[in-house]
Each structure stands twice: as C-alpha cells, then as structure tokens.
Amino acid sequence: MIAIERLTFAYPNQPPIFSDFSWQAAAGEAWAVIGPSGCGKSTLLYLIAGLRQPGSGRVLVDGQPLPRPRASTGLILQDYGLLPWATVWENVALVMRLGRFYRHKPDPAQAPRPYPRSDIQPGQVAAWLQRLGIADLRDKYPGQISGGQRQRTAIARSLLQQPNLLLMDEPFSSLDALTREDLQRLTLELRQETSLTTVVVTHNIEEAVFLGERILVLGRAPNTQPRVVGNPSAGGLDYRDHAAYREKCAELRQALAAA
C-alpha cells in the first residue's frame, strides 16, 4: 500500500527531516506515528498524501508515485478542515458535488485520479451522517456544533469518497478526554467495517497504543531509518482494560526516550 524508498526531504533553507529513509505499510494495516515535536510526523503524512514532494527518493501508494493528492486517500486534520459558511450536510456533500463537477475531466496519464468519484448519491451522504451520529445536525453550521461533532463531520466527508487509505493528523488532540476516547473507538469500528489502511499521527502514547497495530517511532531529525514497535493486541475496543495495553505503553515510552 505505502512504500517510501530512500526518501530525503527538507524545507527550504532548513536541515533535512528525512535522509535516505525507507518504510513500508501493507494494505489493511493500522499504523500510528509518534515522536517529539518537530521530528517530521506531519511532514511524513503530507508526503504520503501527495501534498509535499520528496527532495530525492520515492513515495509510492498502491505502487504509484504521487505527483498530486489522490482521491482514494482520505485526510483528516486536527482543525477539521470544514467550510464555516456551509452546513454539516453541505460540508459532507462537497465530495459529491466535486465528483460531479469533474466527472468529464480525464484522468492524468500514469497518475492516481485526483478527483472524487462521480457516482456518489445523496443517499450515501445521509447514510454516513446517520452512521456517524450527526444526522440531526445536518442543517447546523460548524460554529454551532461541538469539536467532536465537527470531527465526525470531517470523518464522514472523508469516508464518503470511499478511500482505501485514511491519514489522520492528530485528529483528536484538541478534544476533551471523553470525546477523544469516543472517537478513538469509532475509528476502530470504522476500520473493522471498511478494512481501511490507516495512519494516525499522534503525540499521545496511550492513543498510539490503542489505535496502532504497528507504531512508527520517529526521532529527532534527520530520520534515517524506521523504528517500529509491534502492537499485535491492538484493535479490540476493550484493549485499554488489559495488562498488555499498559505494558505496551511502557515499552513505547522507553522507545521514545531512546529515539
């Protein structure tokens, strides 16, 4: 699904964040990415999303390079990315409208399709609003609903385009503890229902262990090789209640200290 080959990346006039860095994620895997501030977590996500381009090396998704974002990659951000002047329904249905607008535009040669699907129907919008528990908010604006409800709206919009890869950049960090845990459980349920490949960037050890069956630990730049912590017990909604969860949190804390 994701193959990063000998990646080097630096922002202009800055030292490299990644240098000859390689990493792979197979289809259907659930990954968490964690590390100290400034280590390149979000940058890695933007490279996988096609929003940044490597200085050298390659980033491949489904075997194809990413000259631009691909429609079958969903991206969920910490600040939700919603249009403040649009209702919940309109924010989610934006994917449907864009798909129809670009339905006659030809696909780029030898590149992933950047445009949303053109066959999305209003009933699918309604179904995702219902599944995410926000159907009764359809006529509300983002400023009229809670942070958790805004994030549910962003998730519904991403899943409406039927992605096979879902990237999440610290999606729950600004939420209160109860809402954060509720959306973490929802993420697991959606993964089980859709068999999505997921990559969640987080700075929270407990969240990384709960959501990531495999955890990529980044250290201070430049990152030259991946450090991976296996977490095969993840994926159960009651994982937090088990001793294995607490032990894995302690292991990850040690890995971060050594990064």
Q: Tens of pLDDT along 65-107?
A: 988 888 899 999 888 889 999 999 999 999 888 777 666 777 6
Is it true that domain 1-62+165-259 has CATH number 3.40.50.10800? Answer: no
pLDDT, position 124 = 94
**Angle between helix 122-131 and 147-160 (nearest 10):** 140
Residue 43 CB partners (closer than 8 Å, separation 6+): 9, 17, 18, 52
Which residue type does 12 have? P
Residue 111 CB partners (closer than 8 Å, separation 6+): 64, 65, 67, 68
Domain boundaries, the chain: 1-62+165-259, 80-163
pLDDT, position 208 = 97
- Is there a common fold for 1-62+165-259 and 80-163? yes
Is the CB of residue 9 less than 8 Å from the CB of residue 175?
Answer: no
80-163: CATH architecture: 3-Layer(aba) Sandwich (3.40)
The pTM is what?
A: 0.91
Using one digit for the tens of pLDDT, what is the confidence trace for 118-129?
788 999 999 999
Those residues of the chain that have pLDDT short of 70 are 101-103, 107-111, 113-115
pLDDT, position 222 = 95
